[in-house]
Amino acid sequence: METSLLMQLTQEFQALSGADALAVFTLAILEGILSVDNSLVLAILVRTLPKEQQKKALMYGIGGAFFFRVVALVFAAHLMRFVAFKVIGGGYLVYLAMKHMFFFYKEDAHQSRPKVAASFWKTVLIVEFTDIAFSIDSITTAVAMSNKLLIIWLAGIMGIIFLRFAAGLFIRMLEKLPKLEDLAYQLIFFVGTKLLLEGFHIEISHAVFWMMMAVIAILGSALVYRDYYQTKTASRFHNRLLGRLKAQEITVDEILALEYVPREIISYLRDSGVLRVQQKE
C-alpha cells in the first residue's frame, strides 16, 4: 500500500501542469476559508490557558490538525462513515458556546499549579478531538473538488499554514477587544450546530452557512465596535478629568458632585490622601 501510494504521488508530481498549479491555489484558498472556523475554536480553547502555555497548546493543535488531515486524506472514504466525530465534536462546541453565553464564570485567578497543568492537557485533548471533526469536514470538501492526491495534500498543507497564522491572529484580537469573545462564541455556536446537523445527515449548503456566518459577524462586529468606541471615549474623558484635577482646575467637591466618579479619580484621591477608604478586616 505504501509503495503504491508513493508511486501515485510520484506520477502525479511528474505530470503537474499549469492547470494543476491553479487547482492547488484555488483549493488552498478554499481550505483557508474552511480553516477559519477551526482556527477560531483553537483560539478560544487555548485562550483559557496561562499566556506561557498558549503557544505550546496552539502548536499541539496545529500539529494535530495537520496529522488528522493527513489521516483523513489517506482514509477519506472510511472516515466519512464515522459520523460520531461530528456529532460529539459539534455537540461539544454548542455546549461550549451555551456555557459562555448563559453559565459563564471566571475561575479563581489564584488556582494551584497542578490544576493549571491538568487544564492544559485537558485543553490539548479537547483541541485534538475538535481537530478530528474539522478535518473530516475540510478534507471531504477537498476530495470532492479534486481526484489527485498530491494536489489535495499540497492544498491541505497550505491550509494548515493559514490555520496557524489565523489562530494566532484571533488570540491577539481577543486580547485587544475582550467583547469580541462574545461574537466568537456566537460563531462557534453556529459552527457547532452545523457539525451536529451534518452528523445526523442534515446538510447546510455552503452558501447558506457562510451567509449566516457573515450576518452574525457583521452584527457582532458592529456591537464590538460600539463597545470599543464607548470605552475609548470614556477613557479620554476620565484622563481629561484627571488632568484637570491634578492641575487644580476643578475642585474635589465638584468631582464628588458628579453623578458618576471614574475609578481612576477615586484611586488618585485615595493615593493623594484626600479620600480615606477604610479597609475591611
Task: Name the band, by pLDDT with cuts 50, 70 and 90, for residue 112.
Answer: very low
**Phi/psi at 103 (5° precision):** -125, 25
Identify residue 257 by its one-letter amino acid code: A
Whether 105 has a pLDDT exceeding 60, the answer reads no
Q: Helix, strand, or coil here: 58?
A: helix
d(CA 227, CA 39): 24
What is the mean pLDDT of the segment spanning 128-141?
A: 68
Q: Which cell numbers hold the place of 183?
A: 461574537
Task: Name the band, by pLDDT with cuts 50, 70 and 90, for residue 267.
Answer: confident
Determine what percent of the chain is predicted with pLDDT higher than 70: 58
Whether 219 has a pLDDT exceeding 80, the answer reads yes
Determine what percent of the chain is predicted with pLDDT higher than 90: 0
- pLDDT score at 77: 47
- pLDDT score at 106: 45
What is the mean pLDDT of the segment spanning 257-271?
A: 73
Contact 35, 166 (CB under 8 A): yes
The 10s digit of each residue's pLDDT in 165-218 is 776 677 677 677 777 777 767 877 887 788 788 778 787 776 787 788 788 888
- pLDDT score at 277: 54
Task: Name the band, by pLDDT with cuts 50, 70 and 90, for residue 223.
Answer: confident
The 10s digit of each residue's pLDDT in 49-77 is 887 788 788 788 777 777 776 676 666 54
Identify residue 125 by its one-letter amino acid code: L
Q: Is the pTM of this model over 0.85?
A: no
Q: Which residues contact 201 (CB under 8 A, 6 or more apart)?
A: 83
Task: Name the band, by pLDDT with cuts 50, 70 and 90, for residue 118.
Answer: very low
The CA distances from residue 122 to 106, 185, 191, 279, in Å, are 18, 19, 22, 39
Domain coordinates in residue numbering, the chain: 2-204, 206-281
Q: Which helix (H) or strand (E) element contains residue 174?
A: helix 149-176
Nearest to 210, CA basis, from 33, 86, 27? 33
Q: How many Cα atoms occupy the beta-carbon half-sphere of 57 within 13 Å?
A: 29
d(CA 199, CA 194): 9
Task: Name the band, by pLDDT with cuts 50, 70 and 90, for residue 128.
Answer: confident
Q: Chain centroid to CA 264: how far?
A: 33
